[in-house]
Amino acid sequence: MRNILFNIIILLGLLFLSACEKAFNTVIDIGVDHTPMTAISITNSTIQQAFKGSITATRAITGPPQGTDVIADADVKIYENGILRDSMLYDALDLNYLSTQSNWLNGSTYRLVVKASGKATIEAEDQMPILVKPLQVNRIPNAKTFVLPEFDNQSVLCDEISFIIPDVAGQKDYYSLEIRGSVQGQNFNVNLICNDAEVESAIDNEDPTSGSTLRYGSLYIRDDLFQDGQKKVVLYIPATPFNQGDYELHFHHISENFYKYSRSYELYLNTQGNPFSEPVQVHSNVKNGAGIFALKQSFVQNL
């Protein structure tokens, strides 16, 4: 029953915003009878590094998607390397839980224990990655022209963004990145062009017939694809009037749970409505419940 339930989890995306960042959002799409359980969706924020996310309860009914009910009185404990470190408090305005601490230790193991009235105690564990900063970040305006289907096959002048990711010895590492723009106080993800086969795209990465050149959302990189202890990444962003403004590179060293969750969730979304696709099970590391607890270390640089 648990596997069936996880197969029907819809995990909405995560936005890495420096000012108005949201945590993972978890919605359980109930299609089978089950015992109500607790679902969590918690990560650490990009800038403040506080743990933040939602805790909800599934509904024991069948039929169309019924969503979840927010749990406002859960007891949430955070353990650092087995020692109690903090408790998360509920924010009634934001409908999320937030830790009171933010100075988490590189490489330490964190465990969440969540107790909610009438439901089984759930646990989730993840390791905090170390902070990795990209090197030699460079932006060259009007560097190259691309013919883009998204712009009615017009030639579009693009800026080049390049940087080097240093490898962390002795670890299996995962990274994600996006470029964010801001115009008149409004933040948005900048569409990226990256023809590097070793850089995984959030959308249409496995569909060479899509005709799409731009990539949307986050890009992912695994260090098993690195050569000579580093990886050079070259991206292009359209230099159109819409993309004029302030830009930031958001670079994240993410845990394996973070990577598996993000990739499986995106694959789940991309295969919905395709009768020829195999069912996709979204990754979860929650015991006796559902959802995700995943950590990252983030670095933000102006471009």
Tens-digit pLDDT profile for residues 6-37: 332 322 233 222 223 444 544 444 444 456 77
Question: How many angstroms separate the CA atoms of 251 and 178, rounded?
Answer: 7
Q: What is the separation of C-alpha 173 from the centre of its chain, rounded to a whole number of angstroms?
A: 15
Residue 59 DSSP symbol: -
**What average pLDDT does this structure show over 93-110?**
92
Share of the chain above pLDDT 90, in %: 39
Question: How many angstroms separate the CA atoms of 28 and 69, rounded?
Answer: 10
Q: What pLDDT, on a 0 to 100 scale, did the predictor assign at position 4?
A: 32
Question: How many angstroms separate the CA atoms of 96 and 134, rounded?
Answer: 31
Q: What pLDDT, on a 0 to 100 scale, did the predictor assign at position 172?
A: 85
Residue that the structure tokens 């969590």 belong to: 40
Most confident of 7-21, 60-74, 94-108, 238-252: 94-108
Q: Largest Cα–Cα distance in the chain?
A: 60
Q: What pLDDT, on a 0 to 100 scale, did the predictor assign at position 244?
A: 58
Strands of the 135-148 sheet, one edge to the other? 135-148, 154-166, 230-238
Helix (H) or strand (E) holding 126: strand 122-127
User: pLDDT digits over 128-137, tens only?
Assistant: 999 999 999 9
The yes-or-no verdict on residue 83 having pLDDT over 70 is yes
**What average pLDDT does this structure show over 273-281?**
69
Question: How many angstroms separate the CA atoms of 128 and 187, rounded?
Answer: 27
Alpha-carbon distances of 267 from 117, 211, 252, rounded to whole Å: 34, 18, 20
Most confident of 42-46, 109-113, 144-148, 242-246: 109-113
Question: How many angstroms separate the CA atoms of 113 and 116, rounded?
Answer: 10
Structural domains of the chain sorted by starting position, each given as residue range(s) with its CATH number in brackets:
2-129+273-295 (no CATH), 135-252 (2.60.40)
Q: What pLDDT, on a 0 to 100 scale, did the predictor assign at position 140?
A: 93
Q: What pLDDT, on a 0 to 100 scale, did the predictor assign at position 3?
A: 36
